[in-house]
Amino acid sequence: RRSDSPRVKGQQRCRLRKSLFKSAHKYGVKCDADVCVILRTREDGRIFTFSTDSFDEFLPILQELV
């Protein structure tokens, strides 16, 4: 049964974000690539980031992106 409650939607967003970051990590390992993912929620503007260790030095300042 599907529910549209805020709690369920929040849990779903969290699962999707974790899945996206896991896939980004997997891509970086398998393809020997530097990966950076930046998510910004439209609802409240929260920012979530993922980057491979070697990509941290190239990560732009978040204020430049917002």
Mapping DSSP onto H, E and C, the string for the chain reads CCCCCHHHHHHHHHHHHHHHHHHHHHHHHHCCCCCEEEEECCCCCCEEEEECHHHHHHCCCHHHHC
Q: Bridge-partner residues for 21, per DSSP?
A: none
The pLDDT, as a whole number, for residue 54 is 67
The pLDDT, as a whole number, for residue 51 is 86
The pLDDT, as a whole number, for residue 65 is 61
Second-level CATH architecture of 6-65: 3-Layer(aba) Sandwich (3.40)
Please tell me which residue, 56 or 2, carries the higher pLDDT value: 2
In this structure, the dihedral spanned by the alpha carbons of residues 50, 55, 61 and 65, taken in order and rounded to 10 degrees, is: -60
The pLDDT, as a whole number, for residue 20 is 97
- Residues 17-46: pLDDT tens digits? 999 999 999 999 999 998 889 899 998 999
Identify the band that residue 53 occupies on the pLDDT scale cut at 50, 70 and 90: confident
**Taking the domains of the chain in order of start, what are their residue ranges?**
6-65
